[in-house]
């Protein structure tokens, strides 16, 4: 990793002759007309609902390429929004009407679920959790713990019963969403297991395209999913040791070590270059582990990148 790569991170795109894009935490989304979107995966990285001041070299390429790999592996199970991936940072996608629920599936008592459990509660999003579980222990079978998608701030837990009672999603559509989400998760587990990993939990987003339930956003990436190494999982679980994992959790841990959890009055720390490189290496490791391929970055020159993006988007 050289200094040029650290300097040429994609933090913001402005494509000539295109309206201002919608800017999410990671992606810049351009309207292309004819129900199409040009989705640019930037190198921004977020945690605790804050975008870090420094970006991660080639993170967007790794994220976009891994999502493309995962979408391809599940497209026989569910319609996806992917039309084309003409550049490592770019996905051309169907413009769907988003379903305003994050579909979170969990195979283990980890993360938010473990924190709820430690607080003494035994119900999460309407799902009853058994007594006597250890942190990171697998459930008898994966559970669905939805969350509302907040425009600002944190997403909120919600039960399937509340989703239907509040009329947030039509019952028939919700049944199709949950059925397809579990099938996609099972496929993700199979791929991970083959590569020596455990897919611990993940977040899916769905939309409607001409009335058809469609998988959107991203699938089985380090930003949306948590993975444990399968080798040594049982031994670490028995000893009560932390699991060896591939996820964004290590960024959160680093931030907490530097007194930041996104709370009022806290100062967002700068990410040192050596830590940015560590993050890059962690994302690369997951990509290579899951796909079985080496990651070869496409160099970016930010002085030319917006012009290159225009040529790509113009084709659609």
Q: Is the pLDDT of residue 225 over 90?
A: yes
In this structure, what are the phi and psi dihedrals at residue 113, rounded to the nearest 5 degrees? -60, -40
The whole-number pLDDT of residue 57 equals 95
Residue by residue, DSSP assigns 226-262 as: EEEESTTHHHHHHHTPPPPEESTHHHHHHHHHTT-SS
Return residue ranges of the chain for CATH 3.30.470.20. 99-208+221-246
The whole-number pLDDT of residue 191 equals 96
User: Mean pLDDT over residues 166-185, rounded?
Assistant: 97
Give CATH for domain 3-97+262-314.
3.30.200.20
> How many angstroms separate the CA atoms of 59 and 281, rounded?
10
CA-wise closest residue to 74 among 161, 199, 163:
199
Q: Token pair for residue 28?
A: 């810049």
| Cβ neighbours, 10 Å, residue 156 | 11
Q: Is the pLDDT of residue 153 over 80?
A: no
Judged by average pLDDT, the poorest of 76-80, 165-169, 183-187, 261-265 is 261-265
Regarding beta strands 212-216 and 79-80, do their DSSP bridges make them parallel or antiparallel, or are they unpaired? parallel
CATH architecture of 99-208+221-246: 2-Layer Sandwich (3.30)
CA-wise closest residue to 145 among 130, 132, 136, 156:
156
pLDDT band at 28 (very low <50, low <70, confident <90, very high): very high
């Amino acid at each position: 990793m050289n200094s040029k790569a650290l300097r040429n991170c994609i933090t913001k795109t402005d494509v000539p002759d295109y309206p201002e894009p919608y800017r999410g935490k990671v992606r810049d989304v351009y309207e292309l007309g004819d129900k199409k979107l040009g989705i640019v995966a930037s190198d921004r990285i977020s945690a605790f609902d804050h975008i870090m001041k420094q970006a991660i070299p080639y993170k967007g390429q790794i994220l976009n390429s891994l999502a493309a790999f995962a979408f391809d592996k599940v497209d026989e199970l569910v319609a996806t929004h992917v039309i084309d991936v003409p550049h490592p940072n770019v996905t051309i996608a169907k413009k769907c009407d988003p379903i305003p629920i994050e579909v979170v599936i969990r195979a283990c008592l980890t993360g938010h679920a473990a924190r709820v459990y430690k607080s003494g509660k035994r119900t999460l999003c309407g799902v009853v959790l058994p007594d006597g579980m250890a942190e990171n222990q697998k459930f008898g079978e994966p559970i669905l713990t939805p969350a509302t998608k907040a425009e600002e701030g944190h997403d909120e837990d919600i039960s399937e019963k509340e989703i239907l009672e509040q009329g947030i999603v039509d019952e028939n559509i919700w049944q199709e969403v949950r059925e397809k989400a579990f099938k996609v998760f099972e496929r993700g587990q199979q791929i991970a297991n083959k590569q020596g990993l455990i897919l611990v939990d993940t977040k899916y987003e769905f939309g409607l395209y001409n009335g058809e339930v469609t998988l959107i956003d991203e699938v089985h990436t380090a930003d949306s999913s948590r993975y444990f190494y399968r080798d040594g999982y049982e031994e670490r679980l028995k000893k009560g040791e932390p699991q060896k994992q591939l996820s964004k959790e290590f960024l959160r841990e680093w931030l907490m070590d530097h007194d930041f959890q996104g709370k009022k009055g806290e100062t967002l720390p700068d990410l040192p270059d050596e830590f940015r490189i560590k993050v890059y290496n962690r994302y690369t490791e997951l990509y290579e582990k899951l796909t079985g391929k080496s990651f070869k970055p496409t160099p970016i020159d930010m002085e030319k990148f917006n012009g290159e993006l225009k040529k790509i988007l113009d084709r659609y």
